[in-house]
Structure 1
């Protein structure tokens, strides 16, 4: 395991500015703004800001304020943030991002989960982690993360939380390694495959119909990334404006932008610096193409097993109406089930305090006695106490069943 420090060469910054200055945008498609994708006017303004005002070095300083490392696992380098708690019985918690995330979207949880030992990896093929040497599947990635947690960091037992692709990885960790995973917290709950949807309740039928309708116009990107990833990657890896457009559309479409009777604009929801931080990470590491591996290798995905470890579920707005009985088809030991009042697909980024409060309450709910398998002091590993009650009462989760 080696310490890691982000330092983009100045020549890369110069190259990016030159490309941004030469940006050539297409003619806009007539119609409602955003209906055909990112509006030309918005993208031009963002490109101008990126070239003239965005301070990448300030972003580097912020990212480097979190302790980062790399470890060689099965002949590939895995990048991760590791923030140790001062709490004597801190629960190790691995937090996995999705696409088009980076590890940076999960960092807002750090402030609110100071009583956990936090491990936030870059998934294989994303930013500073090497592309997988074989297929990128939920199970292969879970095995890599498990080795990180156990073989590299020495945790005998740990909790897990993930979003999007990271939710599938988290699911596989709990399914494959139930003796090591203390519990799984979920804001992107699993939907059973079509073959397993038998004797659905009215609530389950209604949710799946709603989900299909919601995604009817949202799957073109996934079809392209899963069938011709190298074609689109060639364009995005060469054009910073194109890369920005590909990623920005998802941050706008998938986030919860509700604000009373109106919707927030993208700039009102996320700062331009936040958006450009992640876009720049993809750009400087040239990892947009390798990030598509999880889509291209879907055909090699093994059927997911049931999850029997303690499970906490908090449903976000991206899964409105998700019924508990649907969750019970996958998770056999649900300890808490909540509906979040806010928070879209990028749940941790959008509502870090709310998500953290629910995570902390979930683990407090069943990890109350010292774990006899906990290694001696100095060997961080299996933990079961989550802290004093007063610490958890500072942040109240939403109402749970």
Structure 2
């Protein structure tokens, strides 16, 4: 079913009224960003959202993209597709994570669509996609994505790329559907070796895993995974609270100081998508519902390009080799953090093209 985003004006008017009535907290003493998003930065974001940001400009941008709602095994999924402008490269499916959206993948998609079809489905429960009829799991989404790419869109072979929650989906796609997946680009490479029976981790690998399990960065996941409805009740009623919750993680996980790597309006577009679709609560489903063995995808035997972004700068190649058996390239980016496609689309597009050349040769 063809789809177009056109938010009713009363929704935007209500949003502006709520933003204008924002009550900001008193800052807690300490280094900036050490206690969450600084109130002065939040105030500037709220002011921009209420008086300078243009949601309709984002809607106008989307007019140039094909959008549809596709029923995938009982789940209505929002899909953006960019047909290749020229060339016959392998199609690619891009999967976002939390706390972002399909919009954060558009700059990369524009670059890649020069020579290939690009497909960006919104994760179930995110933006305009419905929640899954069963508990959220990476294999459940991966099987739907493979049906989307093959049965629905008619591709015989395709590439996969995923970040955050989407990284698990991509790993399952590549591991469980090698007959369809021609290769994987992994900017959030798998940690699955730590949970595989009989696998011995080196001290370097153990130290890396400890380094990325910082307690000050895990509180959000604990709250979303244990009391999601309580949190959602606060965020779905307050656009400034929603913006604070999302923007703080965007800043914390980026490769830069605060929100410096991002265009402010792109940050607001991302928050606005959660607001107008009322999807912040359902976006917590992966944290609450994913099974304990969600990361235990099959060994990935298709060609892989491992991309080590700055947020996981110490990721050892040996750890990747325990999950990906055919690594064609292993590159540490000079810039770009957790939101790799958003922060460094040119570098990612280059790596995608290089992997395809490698596969074809």
The two structures have a TM-score, normalised by structure 1, of 0.86
C-alpha contact (below 8 Å) 2:80/2:120 kept by paired residues: yes
Distance 1:50 1:211 in 2: 32
C-alpha contact (below 8 Å) 1:96/1:121 kept by paired residues: yes
Deviation at 1:176, TM superposition (A): 1.1
* Deviates most, 20-29 or 166-175: 20-29
Distance 2:82 2:335 in 1: 27
1:40-71 CA distance string (max 9 Å, x none): 12112211221111111112112332221111
Distance 2:111 2:72 in 1: 29
1:8-63 CA distance string (max 9 Å, x none): 00010111011112212222222222111111121122112211111111121123
The question of 1:278 aligning with 2:270 is answered: yes
The question of 1:235 aligning with 2:219 is answered: no
Deviation at 1:340, TM superposition (A): 1.0
> How many residues get paired?
358
What is aligned with 1:35? 34
Distance 2:221 2:203 in 1: 29
1:218-246 CA distance string (max 9 Å, x none): 00000011111111001100000000000
The question of 1:349 aligning with 2:342 is answered: yes
What is aligned with 1:203? 204
- Which structure is larger by alpha-carbon Rg, 1 or 2? 1
C-alpha contact (below 8 Å) 1:63/1:104 kept by paired residues: no
C-alpha contact (below 8 Å) 1:162/1:186 kept by paired residues: yes
Distance 2:111 2:45 in 1: 31
SS of residue paired to 1:294: helix
Distance 2:193 2:350 in 1: 31
Task: Name which of 304, 320, 333 aligns with 2:326.
Answer: 333
Unaligned runs of 5+ in 1: 258-263, 369-401
Distance 1:239 1:108 in 2: 29
What is aligned with 2:184? 184
Distance 2:202 2:11 in 1: 55
C-alpha contact (below 8 Å) 1:237/1:286 kept by paired residues: yes
Q: Which runs of at least 4 in structure 1 moved beyond 4 Å after TM superposition?
A: none
Pairs within 5 Å for 1:282-297: 282-297=274-289
What is aligned with 1:25? 24
C-alpha contact (below 8 Å) 2:193/2:319 kept by paired residues: no
C-alpha contact (below 8 Å) 1:137/1:300 kept by paired residues: no
Unaligned runs of 5+ in 2: none
What is aligned with 1:49? 48
* Deviates most, 103-112 or 200-209: 200-209
What is aligned with 2:221? 222
What is aligned with 1:381? none
What is aligned with 1:169? 169
The question of 1:120 aligning with 2:120 is answered: yes
- Give the RMSD, CA atoms, in angstroms: 1.5
Deviation at 1:75, TM superposition (A): 2.3
Is the alpha carbon distance of 1:75 and 1:210 closer, same or farther for their aligned partners in structure 2, counting shifts above 3 Å? closer
1:71-115 CA distance string (max 9 Å, x none): 112222111111111445321110100100100111111232111
SS of residue paired to 1:5: coil
The two structures have a TM-score, normalised by structure 2, of 0.95
Distance 1:165 1:116 in 2: 24
SS of residue paired to 1:292: helix
What is aligned with 1:246? 245
C-alpha contact (below 8 Å) 1:316/1:343 kept by paired residues: yes
Distance 2:79 2:302 in 1: 25
